[in-house]
Amino acid sequence: MTAALSSLALALLCLLQAGAQVPVQPDLDTEKFAGVWYVTAIASNCSIFLKMKDGMKSSMAIISFMPEGDLALKLLWPLMDKCQKFELLLQQSGQAGHYTGMCRAQDKRDLRVMETDYSHYAVLHEAHDSQAEPSSALQLLTREQDVSPQLLQKFMQLIPTMGLTKDMLAILPKSGEWPEDTGWQ
């Protein structure tokens, strides 16, 4: 089970753009965007995600930026009896808000910050160009684990615009308290 959840987390980290033109937050302020976020909702066509979405809980994402503009992402996924950590470094792709990288040997990853108000929410589009299974996802990140019905409704309206359907949506329940030994708080 832990291996399957780890695979799911890696798949979520390595999702690819499915051909749609994806907007990027104009003039993304990386200082305001950096910090702790919670992944509170995800819509994805990834087969691993679709099999496991009903058992997932909210995860913690810690975002920071390198001096050259690259994005460093640390994810903390709650598993049965522990938390799994994942770390990624994505290169800035011409503009703040658009980042790319490699996931494993030949799998390309594309991440775009579509929209954010910096203090409450962010919508990310992730794309994974894999030889095995190209896929895409939208993620709703919030500064708190709670998500307002209005924000969730706004997120749900974006789903079909990215070629996804509402049956691909998982609204992630709270994970509870994060263990103090994560080293990331």
Report pLDDT digits (tens) over 62-112: 999 999 999 999 999 886 667 788 888 999 998 889 999 876 666 788 999
Look up residue 156 and give its two tokens: 């749900």
pLDDT, residue 12, reads 41
Does domain 23-171 fall under CATH 2.40.128.20? My reply is yes
* 132 pLDDT tier (thresholds 50, 70, 90): confident
For the chain, the domains span 23-171
User: Residue 13 pLDDT more than 70?
Assistant: no
Look up residue 93 and give its two tokens: 């792709």
| The length of the chain, given as a count of residues | 185
Contact 144, 153 (CB under 8 A): no
Each residue's pLDDT tens digit, 134-151: 899 999 999 998 899 999
Locate all alpha helices (DSSP H) within 30-148, ordered by sequence: 30-33, 47-52
pLDDT, residue 80, reads 65
Chain centroid to CA 19: 18
Q: Within the chain, what is the greatest distance between any pair of CA atoms?
A: 41
User: Residue 33 pLDDT more than 90?
Assistant: yes
Contact 13, 108 (CB under 8 A): no
pLDDT, residue 106, reads 66
